[in-house]
């Protein structure tokens, strides 16, 4: 029998149970810096079980972004507009979720494997132009930097809500 590393967060919705499994971690989107958007950004989906009142449970998948500036010196966590990992949580639950990401998620085998699989996928992509080559190099460098994230990196990162993003971008 294989024992999985798991963590639990207690919320008003119920107990969120996260397990270290590559099938529970999805890289949904990845962006490298461009002239219009000078940041690296990856959107992760995390699957978990929500146990409600110890009677019923259902599988959930929610999302968040990790963003870095072009020299990887600044990290920001961003909520998604829908299906946010931080949504419908009070401040204590949001802090517990951020702590989960820093102390557990970035250290899991599932996180490491999902990034390594994405690196292999990028390496297999055909490139035709110098621009393609540069995009591929930037993408791999960013993914490798994600493998180096520490608890402190996540704990020090601010969490931006979608409405903050619109205000900051002038929308």
Element (H, E) at 44: strand 39-52
Q: Kindly list the averaged pLDDT for each block of 10 residues, start to end, along the chain of length 171.
A: 75 92 94 91 96 84 96 95 92 95 95 97 94 95 97 96 54 40
In a domain, 80, yes or no: yes
Compute the distance between CA of residue 99 and CA of residue 7 in angstroms, rounded to an integer: 11
The answer to the question of residue 120 being in a domain is yes
Cα–Cα distance, 164 to 161 (Å, whole number): 5
Q: Record the tokens describing residue 11, joined without a space.
A: 């919320």
Tokens for 66, please give them. Answer: 């990790």
Residue 171 lies in a domain: no
Q: Classify residue 33: in a domain, yes or no.
A: yes
| pLDDT value of residue 37 | 87
pLDDT of residue 56: 80
Q: What is the pLDDT of residue 168?
A: 45
pLDDT at 61: 96
Whether 44 and 27 have beta carbons less than 8 Å apart is answered as yes
pTM of the full structure = 0.88
- Domain span including residue 26: 6-163
Number of domains within the chain: 1
What pLDDT is stored for residue 166 in this prediction? 45
Q: Cα separation of 65 and 113, whole Å?
A: 18
Residue 168 lies in a domain: no
What's the pLDDT score for residue 69?
A: 95
| pLDDT for position 162 | 79
**Is residue 170 assigned to a domain?**
no
**Residues in Cβ contact with 25 at an 8 Å cutoff, skipping those fewer than 6 apart:** 44, 45, 46, 47, 108, 110, 111, 113, 114
- Per the domain annotation, does 111 fall within a domain? yes
Beta carbons within 10 angstroms of residue 168's beta carbon: 9
């Amino acid at each position: 029998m294989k024992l999985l590393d798991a963590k639990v967060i207690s919320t008003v919705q119920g107990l969120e149970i996260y397990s270290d499994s590559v099938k529970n971690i999805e890289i949904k989107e990845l962006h490298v810096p461009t002239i219009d958007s000078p940041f690296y950004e990856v959107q992760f989906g995390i699957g978990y079980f929500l146990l409600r009142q110890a009677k019923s449970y259902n599988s959930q998948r929610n999302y968040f972004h990790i963003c870095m500036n072009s020299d990887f010196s600044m990290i920001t966590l961003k909520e998604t507009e829908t299906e946010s990992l931080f949504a419908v949580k009070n401040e204590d639950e949001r802090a517990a979720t951020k702590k989960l990401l820093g102390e557990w998620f970035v250290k899991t085998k599932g996180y490491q494997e999902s990034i390594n699989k994405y690196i292999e996928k990028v390496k297999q992509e055909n490139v035709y132009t110098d621009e393609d080559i540069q995009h591929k190099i930037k993408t791999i460098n960013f993914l490798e930097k994600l493998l180096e994230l520490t608890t402190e990196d996540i704990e020090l990162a601010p969490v931006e809500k979608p409405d903050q993003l619109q205000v900051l971008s002038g929308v």
